[in-house]
Every structure is written in C-alpha cells, then in structure tokens.
Structure 1
Amino acid sequence: MGQDSNFATLIGSRICHDLISPIGAINNGIELLEMSKPSSGPEMALISESVNNASARIRFFRIAFGAAAGQIVGRPEVTSILKDVYAGGRLTVAWGPLDGQPRRMVRLAFLALMCLETGMPFGGRIEIAQDGEDLELTGHGDKLNIDASLWEMLTTGAPTSEGLRPAHVQFGLLPVIAHDEARNLRVTLTDTRITMRF
C-alpha cells in the first residue's frame, strides 16, 4: 500500500489532533463547573465519564491510526492510555514491556488489540509481552467469537478493503502496516486463546 497508507495515517493523525483539543476544553469546563457549583448528580457524572472515554479513545486512535515516525512511547504513556480505554470494560489488558517502545511497534500493538477486542466480545484478559525485538499479544477468554474471513486477512498477505465494515478496518490495516514495517505477523487461534506476534 505504501504511499496510500502514509496518507491514511496522516489523515488519522490530523483528525485525532483536531479533536483532542475541544474534548480537553469540555473536560476543563466540567471541572470548572464542579468547582463553582459542586454537583454529584447523575448528569454531570455521565458527561464526565463520556468525555473521559472519548479522550482515552482518541489518544488510543492517534497511535493506532496516526503517523509513526521514530519517536519512543514511554511505558507510563502506554499504560495510562490502556488503563483509561479499558476501564470498566469486559477486557483487562496488561502491558508487559518495561522500556519505552518505538511508536511504530505500539501502533502495531494497538491495531492488534483492536483485532483481539473483536474476537473476545465476552471479555477476558490480554497480555502484551516483549520477546527480543518482537511483541507478542495473547488473549485469553472462556468464549471467543472468531470470524475466519477476518482473521485470514491477517496472514494471507492480501488484505482488501472491499466488503470490509468500518468496525473491522483494523483487520485490513494491520497486515499492511506490518508489511510496511518489515514485521512478520503470525497468528495462532485455539478455542480459548488468540496469540499474535510481530
């Protein structure tokens, strides 16, 4: 995909960059309202929770779909994003690498996480570990939901956007980005576990 994927990631970066500021401003406004007129009502709680969730998702998407140059993303930033994105959900995510990771590797990990989310709609645990220069994601769940046509896209080497729903764009993008980064994407599926390595 080459140049097309570069344009796509630049578009992702621009959208996330433009959205994060107004969402941050809304969050600041909520804090000011609570300071001037403290309220523990359900309305304020719902607005605050929604803004926090939107902010977390945009930070996640900015890495997953944005441009990745040579920056290093520190462990605190990655774990903060994952904590906010998966707080209160059915999935728990454990980020194992202790050192900062190249943004391009974190981007691959976040796209892979989105694939795992799709295969684990009933919840479970996802662990991300570093093995040499590779990252390995392992999803454990009592019940998985595997759409073979989606998961085959990751390993056939011939991803296509034709017939792909927006909710599944990660399955088309992950192999393209992995190829662009010269990473060998491997997937292993069992009844209760999904392993992805690159």
Structure 2
Amino acid sequence: MTITPVDFASLLCSRLCHDLLSPVGALNNGLELLAEEHDPEMRARCMELLNESARASANKLKFFRLAFGAAGGFGETVDTREARAAIEGLFGEQSRILIGWMVDEPSLPKPAIKVLLNLALIAGDALVRGGQLDVGAEINGTNVEIVVRAEGPRLLLDPELRTTLTGDLGEAAVTPRGAAAYLVHALVSDSDGTVRISASDAPVLLFGATIRSG
C-alpha cells in the first residue's frame, strides 16, 4: 500500500476542505442572514451562530496544522500541552464527547504527536453518538507507546480505515477519508513500529501504536 507524495497531499487537501466546508458554510449563511435581519433578538442569535462557526473553524485549523502540518516549532519534539489543546478544541466543546487525557510526558517526538492526534481524530469520528475519548502516551525505553480508546453508545469505524491503519488495503485506493489512517500507517512503518486495533465486534474501540522515541 503506497501512494505518491503528490497524491497524498491531494488526499489531505480534500480531507481539509471536507471538514472545513460545514463551519465555513455556516459562517457565510450567518452573514447573509445578518445582512437581511433587523430584529434585535434574531441579530443577536445570528451573532452567536457566527461566533460558534468561527470558533469551530479556528479549532479545526489548529488541529489539522498540528496533526498534518509542520506546527510545533522547529525542534524535534512538541509540547504535549499543544496536542491536548488541539484535541480538546476539536472535540471538547462538543458536549457529546468527553476527553480523558493520560499523557504525563512534557513533550514527545513530532511523529509520535502526529500519530497520537490522527488516532484521536479517527476514534473521535467513530463516536457517532458521542461518548468517552481517552488518549494516553508514554516513553518506554527507545519507543513511545500510544493508546487511544473510544467508548460510546454507537461505535462506527469505517472498514477502509481499519485496513489502511494496518496496511492491509491491498491494491484498493486510499480515499480522502482514509488520509489520517494512511499518515498513521506511514509514520509507524517508517519507524519500524506497529499499529494494533481492537476487534470489530469489541464493545470499545482501542488503538495501540508503537513508534521510536528518537
């Protein structure tokens, strides 16, 4: 399962556009309503919706910049508080998802941070009706051990994501939906690490990943 860097960049761009379309579209609709609305209460409600959409857009951009891009400074490691803020910004304001943070390390290598964030993204998306999202990581010798756990009333992990994470996609094409999973697979493979996933019929969704710490 390999794709060219250009194709992967296209997949990431498609994923970003898809996820930003909703909040940016809501901003546009809110501005149109605000221009036509004269009732003070309705204008106040429009402003609330605009603020919510702007905050959601900003949170998504901050998360994707760290998960997909080159954010985190010029060093080899990233402050884990940045990763926590990114996850809480993306999911924490949604009352339907509760975040559990179990990372005591003050910093982690950039590849490990990207694996952690992208696994959290996949697990959070699988919580269709909300639930609990727990994220943990620790340095164990020369490796970073990452665990992401999702539990909720309905868990839905796309089979494509499962096979992409484990590298079992075969000749099938990676879609924009699988961009995060492919990035995890590529980073872990480059580090001679492993990705583990709970069984499809398990009551919780559990991801485990091992990646070199240096």
TM-score (norm 2): 0.67
1:34-61, Cα deviation, whole Å (9 max, x unpaired): xxxxx98112221121111111111111
Distance 2:206 2:81 in 1: 24
1:62-87, Cα deviation, whole Å (9 max, x unpaired): 12212487532223322222222111
Equivalent position of 1:77 in the other structure: 82
The secondary structure found in structure 2 opposite 1:96 is: strand
Q: Does 1:153 align with 2:164?
A: yes
Q: Does 1:130 align with 2:141?
A: no
Equivalent position of 1:8 in the other structure: 9
Give the 3 Å change call, closer, same or farther, for CA 129–159 of structure 1 in structure 2: farther
Equivalent position of 2:99 in the other structure: 93
Distance 1:107 1:3 in 2: 19
Equivalent position of 1:178 in the other structure: 188
Specify every segment of 5 or more residues in structure 2 that has no aligned partner in the other structure, as ranges: 17-23, 25-40, 210-214
Distance 1:8 1:105 in 2: 20
Equivalent position of 1:35 in the other structure: none
Amino acid at match of 1:178: V
Distance 1:118 1:82 in 2: 12
Distance 2:166 2:128 in 1: 22
1:114-146, Cα deviation, whole Å (9 max, x unpaired): 221332212111111124221111111232123
Give the 3 Å change call, closer, same or farther, for CA 158–145 of structure 1 in structure 2: closer
1:69-109, Cα deviation, whole Å (9 max, x unpaired): 75322233222222221112422222211222222111111
Distance 1:146 1:119 in 2: 5
Equivalent position of 1:56 in the other structure: 59
The secondary structure found in structure 1 opposite 2:149 is: strand
Q: Choose from 66, 69, 76 the match for 2:69.
A: 66
Give the 3 Å change call, closer, same or farther, for CA 77–172 of structure 1 in structure 2: closer
Give the 3 Å change call, closer, same or farther, for CA 71–44 of structure 1 in structure 2: farther
Q: Does 1:196 align with 2:211?
A: no
Amino acid at match of 1:127: D
Distance 2:176 2:3 in 1: 21
Checking the alignment, whether the CA contact within 8 Å between 1:127 and 1:139 is kept in structure 2 is yes
Checking the alignment, whether the CA contact within 8 Å between 1:160 and 1:172 is kept in structure 2 is no
Give the 3 Å change call, closer, same or farther, for CA 160–62 of structure 1 in structure 2: farther
Amino acid at match of 1:54: S
Q: Does 1:41 align with 2:48?
A: no
TM-score (norm 1): 0.71
Equivalent position of 1:143 in the other structure: 154
Q: Does 1:102 align with 2:109?
A: yes
